[in-house]
Amino acid sequence: MNASPRLILASASPRRRELLAKLNVPFEVVVAEITEHEDPATDPRTMVAHNAALKANWVAARHLDAFVLGADTTVFIGDTVLNKPRDLAEARDMLRRLAGKTHQVFTGIALRRGQEGLRVDRGVTSQVTFRAFDEAVIDAYLLAANPLDKAGAYGIQEGGEMIVAGWEGSLTNIVGLPLEETKQILTQCGLLR
């Protein structure tokens, strides 16, 4: 009897782990030792696709028999990419910039399997509209959530009701892993039924 194929999540994100677990497919985590491309001048869709592929390729090269899922998410407003803030001051600036406006959240997904040269790449876009808010709301939000490990300095699932007025598209994309598209990919590859 053949063992089920392995699935590896190439991500350090606890949110991606929680989301992928909802699909009830066994997986392990191997964090890719790569430097993500975060040039703010790069088209955000290109950047997240590139970073997702970098993560998946790095892990797949070391685990040839496994299916490897990589993902990367960023926030984009106007013509500016908002990746993870370096510090609380930058997080405050990002939240000020997003207040009262609509922005896009882009996630790139890459699935690889080294032994057969499998390469699947997808991109997902959602829109988020923030409430208009002041410094007092920013202070309260920063006490309720850790902004430093999230693109755009916020997590919709963590105190989001304080700052988010609404969204369009995939909520799980905004959190960091679009489950609808991920489920489609894993089903096509025989990992889900």
Residue 21's domain is classified under what CATH number? 3.90.950.10
Asked if residue 118 belongs to a domain, the reply is yes
Quick one: which of 142, 175, 126 has its CA closest to 22? 175
CA distance 119 to 34: 19
Query: Per-10-residue mean pLDDT for the chain, 193 residues long?
Result: 77 93 96 87 92 97 96 93 94 97 97 93 98 97 92 93 96 96 95 86
Asked if residue 69 belongs to a domain, the reply is yes
pLDDT at site 40: 73
User: Which range marks the domain in which residue 175 is found?
Assistant: 7-188
Asked if residue 2 belongs to a domain, the reply is no
pLDDT at site 1: 36
- Please tell me whether the overall predicted TM-score, pTM, comes out greater than 0.85 for this model: yes
Q: Kindly name the residue from 72, 79, 87, 121 that is annotated as catalytic.
A: 72
**CA distances in angstroms from 90 to 41, 98, 148, listed in the order given:** 18, 12, 9
Asked if residue 1 belongs to a domain, the reply is no
pLDDT at site 44: 93
Asked if residue 44 belongs to a domain, the reply is yes
pLDDT at site 3: 59
Asked if residue 117 belongs to a domain, the reply is yes
Asked if residue 193 belongs to a domain, the reply is no
Active site residue 72: yes
Instruction: Give the total number of structural domains in the chain.
Output: 1
Asked if residue 106 belongs to a domain, the reply is yes
